[in-house]
């Protein structure tokens, strides 16, 4: 198919230890594809650095500094609202992959159109709320596929967010959901995959349970990563980068342990070294 490359990942480079075969966007950087193909040789870089800074200038400065040590950049609500689509274009212009974390949750038609716009902006991953339901998720994935096909590129990876890690059983009860958070996470994850999504965002402590019930090809993107050396902050349920990868994470979203470090580049390099 035009605009995509089929690649197979091996755990150790040994063909008998195949992890998954999947399509990767042709417009992902060569370094990304090499790292993905030969993790034992190049060390796949699964770190997505969160650019949780308020201005385009700060984001670009941080991105330039840490680019060689990370696999992609996450642009969230704060940066996107203040710097707009232009910051996505500027980060893409450096050759880096972009994860647009705006967590869409709306009527299916609106979400589909937002995803078409994000595809035109050339982002590689974005998030939607699985609680928007099956119809919304099917519309989201269809939009990603159709818009990419029309553009001759690869569909961006639509990631489903299940239960926010800031929610607990009381939060769910408050909005009329009787299931406990764990059950609700598994239920929404299964609905997401049934609706065609190829990836999910999950807390580190959910990875193992999700890996048991989901197809191996589903990409799990995990925030809440801590090395154990940072000062305490609002992430309560954390794993180290290595623990999260061993549990089955595909990508690690790392914010403060990198951008709030005295030397962000050195912090990112240390995290990467700790994984392999
Ligand atoms: O600074 P820290 O490493 O905690 O940043 C984690 C990033 O992942 C932030 O951008 C945060 O918004 C995001 N995130 C999260 N928990 C979720 C979903 C996203 O921490 N459940």
At residue 21, the pLDDT reads: 39
CA distance 247 to 205: 9
How far is ligand 1, taken at its centre, from the CA of residue 203, in Å?
9
Q: Which of 6, 74, 90, 103 is catalytic?
A: 103
| Bridge pairing between strands 98-104 and 125-129 | parallel
Instruction: Render pLDDT for 166-202 as a digit per residue (tens, 0 to 9).
Output: 889 999 999 999 999 999 999 999 999 999 999 999 9
**Counting atoms of ligand 1 from 1, which one is nearest the CA of 166?**
21
- Rg of the chain over all Cα atoms, to the nearest angstrom: 18
Which residues contact ligand 1 via a Cβ below 6 A? 50, 52, 76, 164-165, 201, 223-224, 235, 253-257
Instruction: Write out pLDDT tens, residues 56-70.
Output: 999 999 999 999 999
Atom of ligand 1 nearest to the CA of 254: 3
- Protein residue with least CA distance to atom 7, ligand 1: 255
Q: How far is CA 176 from CA 169, 180, 191, 193, 248, in A?
A: 11, 11, 19, 24, 32
Interval 137-143 mean pLDDT: 98
pLDDT for 42: 45
Q: Domain-by-domain residue ranges, the chain? A: 1-44, 45-275
Distance 13 CA to ligand 1 centre (A): 32
Q: Name, in order, each residue with C-beta under 8 angstroms of 164's C-beta and a sequence gap of 6 or more.
A: none
Average pLDDT of the chain? 87
Structure tokens at 248: 């089955």
Please check whether residue 227 is in contact with residue 197, taking contact to mean a CB–CB distance below 8 angstroms.
no
Pocket probe mutation, ligand 1, options 255, 260, 271, max atoms within 8 Å of Cβ: 255
Which residue's CA is minimally distant from atom 2 of ligand 1?
A: 255
Pocket test for ligand 1, best of 161, 224, 235, 241 (most atoms within 8 A of CB): 224
Integer Cα distance of 66 and 203 in angstroms: 24
Alpha helices in 70-206 (DSSP H): 77-83, 85-93, 108-120, 134-151, 169-174, 181-194
The answer to whether residues 244 and 217 touch, using CB atoms and an 8 Å cutoff, is: no
Fold of 45-275: TIM Barrel (3.20.20)
pLDDT range class, residue 233, cuts 50, 70, 90 = confident
Tell me, yes or no, if 103 is annotated catalytic: yes
- pTM for this structure? 0.84
CA separation, residue 13 to residues 24, 71, 123 (Å): 18, 20, 29
Residue 231, pLDDT > 50, answer yes
């Amino acid at each position: 198919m035009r605009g995509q490359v089929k690649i197979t990942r091996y755990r150790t480079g040994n063909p008998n230890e195949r992890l998954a075969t999947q399509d990767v966007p042709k417009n992902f950087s060569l370094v990304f594809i090499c790292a993905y193909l030969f993790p034992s040789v190049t060390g796949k870089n699964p770190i997505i650095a969160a650019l949780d800074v308020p201005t385009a200038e700060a984001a670009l400065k941080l991105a330039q500094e840490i680019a060689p040590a990370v696999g992609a950049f996450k642009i969230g609500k704060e940066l996107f609202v203040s710097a707009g689509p232009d910051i996505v274009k500027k980060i893409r212009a450096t050759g880096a992959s972009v994860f647009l974390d705006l967590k869409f949750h709306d009527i299916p038609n609106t979400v589909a159109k937002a995803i078409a716009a994000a595809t035109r902006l050339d982002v590689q991953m974005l998030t939607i709320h699985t609680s928007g339901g099956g119809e919304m998720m099917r519309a989201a994935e269809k939009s990603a596929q159709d818009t990419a096909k029309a553009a001759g590129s690869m569909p961006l990876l639509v990631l489903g967010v299940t239960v926010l890690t800031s929610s607990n059983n009381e939060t769910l009860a408050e909005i009329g959901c009787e299931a406990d958070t764990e059950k609700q996470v598994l239920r929404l994850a299964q609905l997401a995959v049934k609706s065609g999504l190829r990836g999910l965002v999950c807390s580190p402590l959910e990875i193992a349970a999700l890996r048991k019930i989901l197809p191996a090809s589903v990409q799990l993107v995990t925030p809440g990563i801590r090395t154990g050396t940072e000062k305490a902050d609002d992430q309560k349920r954390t794993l180290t980068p290595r623990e999260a990868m061993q549990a089955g994470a595909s990508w690690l979203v790392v914010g403060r342990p990198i951008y709030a470090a005295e030397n962000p580049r050195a912090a990112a390099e240390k995290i990467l070294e700790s994984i392999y």
